[in-house]
Amino acid sequence: MKKGMIKVSAFYPNGDGSTFDMDYYCNKHVPMAKSLLGGALKELAVDKGIAGGMPNSPSPYLAIGHLYFESIAEFQNAFGPHAEKLVADMPNYTNTQPVIQISEVQQ
Amino acid sequence: MKKGMIKVSAFYPNGDGSTFDMDYYCNKHVPMAKSLLGGALKELAVDKGIAGGMPNSPSPYLAIGHLYFESIAEFQNAFGPHAEKLVADMPNYTNTQPVIQISEVQQ
């Protein structure tokens, strides 16, 4: 991805009783997000956690979603009007509270 | 990135007194990793944390490095022989202990 782009990542924590429905996320939530965010959303990536760093350790996160935008302003303008709808869909695929990070792509 | 690829992510936690030298990481550590891991390393991405999800909140992670491989076996075969050298370089760019996650790319 291009240096300087903005990457908004949602980390869904692993833990006892934590759930994440990858099928719903990829086939319902992501298409909804793409449709609502429109052209401001330059790219979207989804990771499924499978392991931690130590042998037989669980992955820290069940899943991570990454959304790429050209700038913070483009992200805010695209996301703001639809934040409520996107957040309201969360209980349909997870019982966790995601950790959110906004990053600048270095390389 | 292609569905099914393996993504090894190192999350360097933010916190009081935590340091991360992005210049060293991008210009010394990453080239060293590329050289040691060779063709097994299909792609490498670096994120610089700039904010959290709430207004004026800090990013949960100072930086995140993502390494892409075709399979777990290719990652292990490439990384194993050089793990010690790569880990030994860590104090040159951070005083944190990274959280490691192995993910499978979904999209």
pLDDT in tens, B80-97: 999 999 999 999 999 999
Contact (CB, 8 A) for B4 and B107: no
* Nearest beta carbon to residue A52 from set B46, B101, B106: B101
- Please state the ipTM of this predicted complex: 0.95
Please judge whether A99 and B64 are an interchain contact, meaning their C-beta atoms are less than 8 angstroms apart: no
Whole-model pTM: value is 0.96
Q: Could you tell me the maximum CA-CA distance found in chain B, to the nearest angstrom?
A: 43
Q: Tell me how far apart the alpha carbons of residues A69 and A78 are, in angstroms, rounded to a whole number.
A: 9
Sign of CA dihedral A27, A12, A52, A6: positive
Nearest Cα of chain B lies from the Cα of A44 at a distance, in angstroms, of 8
Q: Which of A22, A60, A102 sits opposite B99 (nearest CB)?
A: A60
| pLDDT digit string (tens) for chain B, length 107 residues | 899 999 999 999 999 999 999 999 999 999 999 999 999 999 999 999 999 998 899 999 999 999 999 999 999 999 999 999 999 999 999 999 999 999 999 99
Q: Is A94 exposed, middle or buried (0-12, 13-18, 19+ CB in 10 A)?
A: buried
Residues of A with CB under 8 A from a CB of B: 1, 7, 9, 11, 22, 26, 30, 44-54, 59-61, 63-64, 98-107
